[in-house]
Structure 1
């Protein structure tokens, strides 16, 4: 039971990043989110801080959406 929350969270994230509205697999159009997710995984791994991970993730998606 301890892995249920992480499994549910992973399935939601994977669906948002890789599955289109027509239920096809695609990474086109989600480059800012993909870059931000990799950075957030690293931040979460090293700091173990949920708050810092959320703040870094939101800031990166915002900045990358403007730049890319």
Structure 2
């Protein structure tokens, strides 16, 4: 909640791993919503948890975005 630009997100994207994070601080500048990750509503832990589960269900974000309702 405090880190404005976490390096873990940069490292995750460099490895090709999908990012799930809150839409706050510098994160929207790093992770592109529904392209390289999912940015949950700020401090909405239910949204964050549901998107982590959703991401884990599918192989990659490209397939996930086409299935989102």
Q: TM-score range by the shorter chain?
A: 0.3 to 0.5
Q: TM-score, normalised by structure 2?
A: 0.41
Structure whose alpha-carbon radius of gyration is higher: 1
Q: TM-score, normalised by structure 1?
A: 0.41
Which structure's residues are more often helix, by fraction?
A: 1
